[in-house]
Amino acid sequence: MWVLGAALLVAMATLVIVGPAVMSRTSFTSAQLVAMSLGVAYGLLVALRSRNAHLKTERAYSTHLEELSQRLRTMAYRDVLTGLYNHRYFHEQLAHEIDRSIRYGQPLTVLLFDMDNFKTINDTYGHLVGDKFLSLVGQIVAKHIRSSDIGARYGGDEFAIILPNTNAEEARLTATKLEEAVARSAAMTPGEVAVRLGISLGYASCPDDSRLPGELIEAADRRLYEIKTARRSGSRALRETA
C-alpha cells in the first residue's frame, strides 16, 4: 500500500510542478497531462514493487545463508550422538580458557572421565546399547554442568569437561554429582534388560597442575587411570576374600 501511495505522490508532484510549464509551451490538455502523470505513477509503482520484492528476496536469502552457516558451525563443533561438543572444539576452548584463567588469576579445572566396563557392554549387548549409554551420559553431563562449563565427548567412551573459575575441591563436587547421576541411570537392551554402569573421573587444575593444555589433560588422565586401577584392585581383593 505504501508503494502505491509513494508512486501517486510523485505523480501528483510532477503534475503540479511541471504541468503549468508544459501546458504553456505545448498543446497538451489537462486530461493528457493527468494521463501522463498516472503513467509515471504506474511506472514508479512497478519499479518500487520490483525493488521491494528484490529486497525481500535478498533478506530471505541472507537469513537462509545465516541459518545454514549456523547449522554448519554446529555440525563442525558438536558430537551428533551425545549432543555435547566434540574433541576439536574442546581443545580450542581449553587453550582459550587457560589463557583467561592465567590473565585474571582465576582457577580452572578439567574433568576427564570414561565408562566402566564399556567394552564388555558393547560386546555383550551390541553397539546400539552402547550408543544408548553414550547418548544418556551426554544428557546427564548437559544437565549437571553450568552454562559457562564446556562438556565434550573426547573420543569413544571418554568425556571431558572444562570448568572455568573452579578449583579442584569444587570440581570434585561436580564429579561426585556426575558419578551418582550415571549410577542411577540405566539403558534398556533389546531384550528389555536394564543395564547400569558407572564412570571413573580424573581431574587437573590450572595453575596448580599445569598451565599448558596438553599437560593438563595428561595430569587428569593419570588421575583417571589411578582411580580405575584402584577400583579394579579393590574389586579383585573383594572377590579373593569372598
Mind telling me the catalytic residues? 157
Give CA–CA dist 165/208, Å, rounded: 13
DSSP 182-234: HHH--EE-TT--EE---EEEEEEEETTT-SSHHHHHHHHHHHHHHHHHHHHHH
Contact 162, 149 (CB under 8 A): yes
Q: Return the SS3 of 162.
A: strand
Give CA–CA dist 210/198, Å, rounded: 28
Give CA–CA dist 75/85, Å, rounded: 10
51's grid cell: 525493488
Give CA–CA dist 213/26, Å, rounded: 86
